[in-house]
Structure 1
């Protein structure tokens, strides 16, 4: 599996997103993904499935090879809550460490320095290998990198061909951070797009694979979610073709639509 390197930390470029997956299905898909070659599994406290993800990781027999990410929910970003909730996450996962720990959503009521200080302490104790953020804007990235006692290796953001995230990507690269794309096939929007379908046909690939390849080819990590085992193989089969410069430019033009899918009342003011 190819990796994206950020501040000495390796992030496998294709991972499995587990939002909305639960119970035995979640554990089974996680285990099967790892057996197929996935080395990056993404979960979160808000998903309520850390226990199931942990079951799948352990059942694969390849824990040492797999990067497990979890994310702290925005209501638990005080120093005391960070310490308690992350230790609870470890208990749910039944793992001895978390590979990558992220702030899931910024919370303006809690100082970033407090949250990142508490996360850094967990890293220094050996409970976490690397730290990052999610859903951070340019201004928040600047602040976070200024106050964090430990390096921040990534920003996980909504990213797909229909949303222009060039400002945030530029900020991540300026800070030496990887970009991790959630909803990279636009939650089913990519397979329905005529441009992606036409380009996929030229390569013998699906429109979803073209959407993923468009991101991977830019060095962006993707974590597509699926509830179907057969889709696991499709979502990882991205390295036997390449998009041309003209195709990349045409797909990039779709971003002018600005189709943001994830936008909650607690979202920051987007760039």
Structure 2
């Protein structure tokens, strides 16, 4: 059984390489006021990791939420992503600065290549990321949706270390090979869509673990990711869902629970654009 959100202290929020292991995702949160309030609510509840992207069209609302929250900017781990149309060297440099302006910040803690697609050229794109890193506009470089071979190529090209690879990851898409490649390259794994867009609620194995502990299926899935050393950024807008996800931090799964979830044989990818590198 978990504690209430108010009883979970910041010390209980684990980090991986300095990245809080539970964050707030904002994909598809395009209502400006709702996005702003969800960010403010999450930060004041205890979250310290906020994730957005140029393509989400909500950077300004995210920045406003950080501004409204009674939390110092320096205490927030803020990440955004460069979209696939903006990955030429000059576009990276220009649009990254535009993202900072929209967010109302002097730097971001993590800047991702959103997808290795369209305008992505490893040498050209990553040189721009190195420049932003050297200028102090980004604290860390990240990649997203990179296959193991693309991750290794990027690591060889970049001067700056790669902090994280953000990918779809949940009990229905555990990404074992990718996690192994990230571990071999000292790269953290960040899971988007960690609840498989709600599909985890229909898995009986997860439901049984949830019933055993008296918690939600969402909490079980997030705790399972934490057991795997994976950082999760579930999207949530209402306070109840933000709180439920936060309470997953005090759920400890036992070996039997983890084995039951590992044994799920269903495999479903929720995010599968034509330009995905696996297609």
Partner Cα separation in structure 2 for residue 226 and residue 28 of structure 1? 11
1:224 aligns with 2:256: no
Deviation, structure 1 residue 152: 0.4
Partner Cα separation in structure 1 for residue 183 and residue 50 of structure 2? 23
Deviation, structure 1 residue 261: 0.6
2:6 counterpart residue number: none
How many residues in Structure 1 have an aligned counterpart in Structure 2?
265
Match of 1:2 among 9, 14, 29: 14
Q: Deviations over 1:135-156 (max 9, x none)?
A: 0001101101111111000000
2:191 counterpart residue number: 181
Question: TM-score under structure 1 normalisation?
Answer: 0.95
Q: Deviations over 1:11-44 (max 9, x none)?
A: 0000000011120000000000000000000000
Partner Cα separation in structure 2 for residue 76 and residue 114 of structure 1? 12
Match of 1:20 among 8, 28, 32: 28
1:43 counterpart residue number: 52
- Tell me, yes or no, if the aligned pair for 2:51 and 2:78 is still in contact at 8 Å: yes
Q: Which runs of 5+ in 2 are unaligned?
A: 1-12
Deviation, structure 1 residue 61: 3.3
Runs of 4+ in 1 over 6 A off after TM superposition: none
Deviation, structure 1 residue 192: 2.3
1:157 counterpart residue number: 167
Match of 1:120 among 111, 130, 144: 130
Q: Deviations over 1:141-184 (max 9, x none)?
A: 11011111110000000000011300000000000010000000
- Tell me, yes or no, if the aligned pair for 2:23 and 2:48 is still in contact at 8 Å: yes
